Amino acid sequence: MIIEQLMPALSPTMTEGTLVAWRVKKGDVIKAGTVIAEIQTDKAVADWDAADGGTVVEILIEAGSLAKVNMVAAILSTKKDDDIPAAIAKAKATNAKLAGSAVMAAPVSALVSAPAAAAQPAVPSAPALVSTPNAAAPRAEKPGRGVRISPVAAKIAAAFAIDVRLVIGTGPDGRIVKADIEAAAKSGSAKLGASASAKAEKPKLKVLRPDASQAQTTVALSPMRQIIGKRLLESKTQIPHFYVTETIEASALMMIREQLNLLDGLKVTVNDLIVRATALALRVHPKLSATFHGDRVVQHDSSDISVAVAIPDGLITPIVAKAHTKSVRQIGDEVRSLAKKAVEGKLQPSEFQGGSFTISNLGMFGIEAFAAIINPPQVAILAVAGIKDVPVVKNGQVVAGKTMQVTLSADHRAVDGADAAAFLKTLRELLEAPATLLG
């Protein structure tokens, strides 16, 4: 009997996947349950075990290729008199039909292929500080969309303003179930403050003082810190970060801010101007307004800017949606409203899920410079430092000036150095001529 081994759908959303490596070769005799290949899904690399046994008589999808679900990847034969050439012809026809276009079954980019090193990990799955694995709808618009979560868990998460992306699911295949959300609500981990419900307890930090004379305090990690740690460790270790720093002459920026603040009822911060400038720069450099999904990058027309906000024992990134369409004033009002909600724990999931780019601003602390860790599946994050009074050279003369350093961290899988530099150049031009931000 001829048994076709069809490219499996290893997750409900999977429509295609990369066959990372074969574990069997032509001529091998396999049993049902044998792992025959490794497959990169939209979420992770998974083993593919055969449902049937037989002799591998043909392999149709080469390692490192992208294949659609249900394509014939290999053919097994269980009898000597099987008509193998006919089976291969049939399988090829099936694959051609499924492929539709010529791009399928051709080795994908150099980053992915390298089939020689079978043990080499394939493209790391995007760690889910932002989940949304579905490329067709990369940004969550409703609570829980794109996240595997049970209906009742989604409702509780909405009621408690819990960021479901920060919750680790313990249900089947990592599905978030009621118990996970209840635990998060109770510990206050993914939740943003206790005000959302009187039932939620404050995070309990275990403080051990074995001996008062020893000046040390052991603080157990709160679940939120554990998750931040896990997700950022994944990001930092799995994403090939690279960093580009630019110094911006900020005298004009400070001046325009002062002028704007002379207007009645208007309070503009440097951050508001930076968000606006970034939103405009992203429109010019859409490669940075993007999310990375294993085998593809999705560029987002809309500059939905995640703004990192510190909250007790953690941080959250509420989003200024469509920032490129908003005035400095609108952006300022929105950021302050979101930050207030964040600290009070009243953010709705739709207000912090998604985002196409993140800004982390530590300027208020006056620090010199820093680099941030990418918030996946986004491909870049901008770290904004403080504005300093420094001597600058203007027209050959050393004069008093103000500068601000910004550092872009970018994912080299999606963005190259030149892209990052070009983006920073545009950003600098906008910030150094801040009247452009008022248009």
Q: Do the strands 357-361 and 207-208 form a parallel or antiparallel pair, or are they unpaired?
A: unpaired
Helices (H) and strands (E) in the chain, counts: 9, 20
Catalytic (active site) residue 412: yes
Q: Is 142 in the site for another protein (CB under 8 A)?
A: no
Report, in Å, the least distance between residue 87 CB and another protein. Answer: 23
Q: Is 33 in the site for another protein (CB under 8 A)?
A: yes
Reduced DSSP (H G I as helix, E B as strand, rest coil) percent helix, strand, coil of the chain, to 5: 30, 25, 45
Residue among 57, 59, 98, 156 that touches another protein (CB under 8 A): 156
Report, in Å, the least distance between residue 149 CB and another protein. Answer: 9
Query: Measured between alpha carbons, how far is residue 229 from residues 283, 303, 313, 360, 373 in Å?
Result: 32, 27, 12, 17, 11
Partnered with residue 241 across adjacent β-strands are: 411
Q: Is 31 in the site for another protein (CB under 8 A)?
A: yes
Task: Take residue 19 and report the two structure tokens written for it.
Answer: 């066959």
Report, in Å, the least distance between residue 353 CB and another protein. Answer: 20
Q: Which of residues 251-290 bind another protein (CB under 8 A)?
A: none
Residue among 95, 150, 235, 378 that touches another protein (CB under 8 A): 150
Phi, psi of 402 (to 5 degrees): -130, 130
Q: Which of residues 172-201 bind another protein (CB under 8 A)?
A: 177-178
Nearest Cα to Cα of residue 190 among 351, 198, 182: 182
Q: Is 320 in the site for another protein (CB under 8 A)?
A: no
Report, in Å, the least distance between residue 114 CB and another protein. Answer: 31
How many of the chain's residues bind another protein (CB under 8 A)? Answer: 12
Q: Is 85 in the site for another protein (CB under 8 A)?
A: no
**Which residue number, 74 or 154, has a Cβ lying nearer to another protein?**
154
Q: Which of residues 158-177 bind another protein (CB under 8 A)?
A: 159, 177
Nearest Cα to Cα of residue 242 among 401, 124, 408, 110: 408
Residue among 25, 26, 29, 32 that touches another protein (CB under 8 A): 32
Report, in Å, the least distance between residue 173 CB and another protein. Answer: 12
Residue among 11, 99, 114, 155 that touches another protein (CB under 8 A): 155
Query: Measured between alpha carbons, how far is residue 220 from residues 268, 311, 331 in Å?
Result: 39, 18, 37
- List 293, 300, 324, 412, catalytic entry: 412
Instruction: Return the half-sphere exposure (C-beta side, CA atoms, 13 A cut-off) of residue 394.
Output: 10
Phi, psi of 283 (to 5 degrees): -65, -30
Q: Are 34 and 49 within 8 A, CB to CB? A: yes
Binding region for another protein (CB under 8 A) out of 31-39, 231-239, 285-293, 380-388: 31-39
**Which residue number, 69 or 159, has a Cβ lying nearer to another protein?**
159
CA distance 258 to 334: 20
* Residues designated catalytic: 412
Residues that bind another protein (CB under 8 A): 31-33, 150-153, 155-156, 159, 177-178
